[in-house]
Amino acid sequence: MRLLIGTSWKMNLSATEASQYCRTLLPLVEDVMDRELFVLPPFTSIWAAREVLAGSRIAWGAQAVHPEDCGAHTGDISAPMLADLGCTYVEVGHSERRRDYGETDEWVAAQVLAIHRWGMKAIVCVGELEPAPINDVRKWLGRQLQALSAADPKRLVIAYEPVWAIGVGAAAADPSWVGEVQGTIHEWVQSNVGSDATVPVIYGGSVDSSSAEGILAQPSVNGLFVGRSALDPVEFARIAHVNARGVQSGREASAPAARTSG
């Protein structure tokens, strides 16, 4: 399974800034051949990312979607709208969406089905609220994952993002903990989705270029989902090149950072 390394910009980067970011990033990762890369801009900047990234090896996508294909849902964005913009990935279930908009596991499951219906891949975020014993975490994740039983495993990515490791001032979870938890997620996939399913399980939560190598060294980690540190395209390029289980991808990134907000 190829490593999957991507970033969600959250509510950062205007269309103009997104275009500049992508133009800075492209030459820094042109030698990355052994892993897949993606960026998830805010809705208003997806078109700008598409204009720069079209024809490259970097995919783009969105951070949320409405389960219905159309209708009276003021301010919402549908899966066919995202597919029309060439999106490959759509993130759902982030803890901020669950907290701020009351998104439930059932709502997340409906979003996933809409994403699959339009030929895109769903990145489903799961994670416990507070540090807890592993058995408690298994139960918590099991409840979140159960909603994915009807998902298409070929179009599914699971992002383990412990809520306590997200946000300013937080630190990435210990690599051994990440490895253990993500191992249990793989076990759930094998038992509930299919023994032959190869669903990538990636880690997100205060990842940067200094913590990425230790996390990627865990056999159960299939990639990284980077937040605020990737608002600098040079830092994201460093993470994209990071050594993974003894393999260094391409050359080290070294270029001035583009101006970003956030």
Residues with active-site annotation: 94, 161
Rounded CA gap, 171 and 211, in Å?
9
CB 64 within 8 A of CB 80: no
> Helix crossing, 134-146 with 175-192: angle to 10°?
40
Q: DSSP string of 161-221?
A: --GGG-STT--PPPHHHHHHHHHHHHHHHHHHT-TT----EEEESS--TTTHHHHHTSTT-
Query: What is the three-class DSSP state of 42?
Result: coil
Cα four-point dihedral sign 237, 240, 245, 249? negative
Give the rounded distance of the alpha carbon of 118 from its chain centre. 19
CB 231 within 8 A of CB 260: yes
β-pairing verdict for 201-204 and 156-160: parallel
Give residues with Cβ within 8 angstroms of 169, minimum separation 6: none
For the record, the structure tokens of 157 come out as 């990515």
